Amino acid sequence: MESINWYPGHMKKTRELIQENLKLVDLVCEILDARIPLSSRNPVIKEITGAKPRIVVLNKSDLASPAQNDLWERALSDGGASVIQTNANSGEGAKKLLALLERLRAEKNEGRERKRPLRLMIVGIPNVGKSSLINRLAGGKSAKTGNKPGVTRGKQWINIGEGIMLLDTPGILWPKFEDPSVGLDLAFCGSIKDETMDLTELGLELIGRLAEMYPDMLAARYRLSGILDTPLGNMEAIAEKRGFVMSGGRIDYERTARTVLDEFRAGKIGRITLEEAALKN
């Protein structure tokens, strides 16, 4: 599959927005996709925010491998960041995150007669669940949400607790993915709009990855008798099991690809992490 480049104009504006408002906040809360913690970590955000204190949130942890979630929590905390696993849809982990913010606010105001709010900026790539998590923290529909990247468009200050203010920013990707696998991971998880992709090729790539990393889950979901040697062979076997065969016995490759992508994103194939954590000795 050809390398993926994606840098719409509003993402350039988001970079400028982050740079302009960084001085107003005490810390940065970076939201990652637990299924692809490295690929969903925008290097531009790290470059912009520098040494600003940060919290790392592994969102969509319910869709990822539980064992890998724990390994990634340990790996990402090596740099001194606080790491919390969340599922923004169910609210799991939100109370833990809010408790951490309340503790940081208390530490900031220790010894002060006049209390000051804790201000944080929430950042992350598109479709990682930032707005859903904010709504959980704020206890209501305070931020726009959607299942497509690019829903949040402008700067939003949101009160998420007594003395805690959060600056929401639109999702931001970076100009070019040097490693093709990063672009694929982002596309698999829906952080790049499907309309910009060849979905048949993307689905074929995902089937190949799942056959390599999670063959038993793939076979169980699509009732395959076994995993074949090629992604195309597995795609055709899935199509036949699901009845995605058109007149003349032609395989409906696009429908098969869309089905596998949708079911992976919804967690129906299983709890899958596409990037395995490597801990330092």
Encode pLDDT of 233-269 as tens digits.
999 999 999 999 999 999 999 999 999 999 999 999 9
**Amino acid letter, 169:** T
pLDDT of residue 138: 86
Strand-pairing partners, residue 58, are 32, 85
Please give the pLDDT value at position 142.
56
| 10-52 pLDDT per residue, tens | 567 777 888 888 889 999 999 999 999 999 998 888 888 888 8
Closest Cα partner for 24 from 169, 139, 129?
Answer: 169
Instruction: Give pLDDT, residue 193.
Output: 84
pTM metric for this prediction: 0.87
Beta strand 156-161 pairing with 164-168: antiparallel
Query: How much is the pLDDT for 155?
Result: 63
Cβ–Cβ < 8 Å for 133, 152: no
pLDDT confidence of residue 166 = 92
| Sequential pLDDT tens for the chain (281 residues) | 555 544 555 567 777 888 888 889 999 999 999 999 999 998 888 888 888 899 999 999 999 999 999 999 999 998 788 999 999 889 899 999 999 999 999 999 998 888 899 999 998 888 899 888 988 888 864 544 444 444 344 567 888 878 999 998 887 776 667 778 888 999 999 988 888 889 999 999 999 999 999 999 999 999 999 999 999 999 999 999 999 999 999 999 999 999 999 999 999 999 999 999 976 54
Asked whether 238 and 260 are in contact (CB, 8 A), the reply is: yes
Reading the block at residue 138, the tokens are: 């704020």
Q: Going from the N-terminus, what domains does the chain have, and what CATH number goes with each?
A: 9-168 (3.40.50.300), 198-265 (1.10.1580.10)
Cβ proximity of 42 and 176 under 8 Å: no
Q: Residue 181 burial (CB < 10 Å; 0-12/13-18/19+)?
A: middle
Q: How far apart are CA 234 and CA 213, in angstroms?
A: 14
